[in-house]
Amino acid sequence: MKEKVYKILENVTDPEIPVLTIQDLGIVRDVRIEGEEAIEIVITPTYSGCPAMSVIAAHIKMELMANGFKNVKVTEVFSPAWTTDWLSESGKKKLKEYGIAPPVAQARLEKLLFQVPPSVNCPRCGSDKTNLISEFGSTSCKSLMRCDDCLEPFDYFKCH
């Protein structure tokens, strides 16, 4: 039963980055079967106040209802807080293919300790000569960066 639910949840994608499923994001914390047709999905928002979350919650309900579940509840839990470490490896790969530099592992810690921006590789040519143009890219989850080698701007999925 749970397996079937997880399978259905693979159809739910991030409205901001449609190549990423919510499984790739790692935000599905629990699936609780509460009877024949009743189900509760527990998710952790990628960051509090992310406007995409209400879209995701609605999408989860729609997908499950389309698959015969009549009573679907989506609960948000905020602790422990989501971090980019929860992104799956396939999710990071998809991000890169989509032209967004995936979060650099350990970057969060380095930023905390040394106050330096992480060295981010260009998703197009792989160069590490990249510069931060703006803390905020197309959405607040991303920074806008530019590659010094291919001179292309790109989004970086920020660590937090």
* 57 touches Zn ion (CB under 5 A): no
Q: Closest approach of Cβ 125 to Zn ion, in Å?
A: 3
Residues of this chain, 70-129, that bind Zn ion according to CB under 5 A: 122, 124-125, 127
Q: Which CB sits closer to Zn ion, 75 or 127?
A: 127
The set of residues, in sequence order, having a beta carbon less than 8 Å from that of 149 and lying 6+ positions away, is 122, 125, 127, 129
Q: Which of residues 129-148 bind Zn ion (CB under 5 A)?
A: 147
Q: Any idea what the Cα angle at residue 52 is, between residues 117 and 8, rounded to 5°?
A: 115
**9 strand-pairing partners:** none
What is the helix (H) or strand (E) element at residue 111, kind and residue range?
helix 107-114
| Residue whose CB is less far from Zn ion, 54 or 131 | 131
**Site residues (CB under 5 A) for Zn ion?**
122, 124-125, 127, 147, 149-150
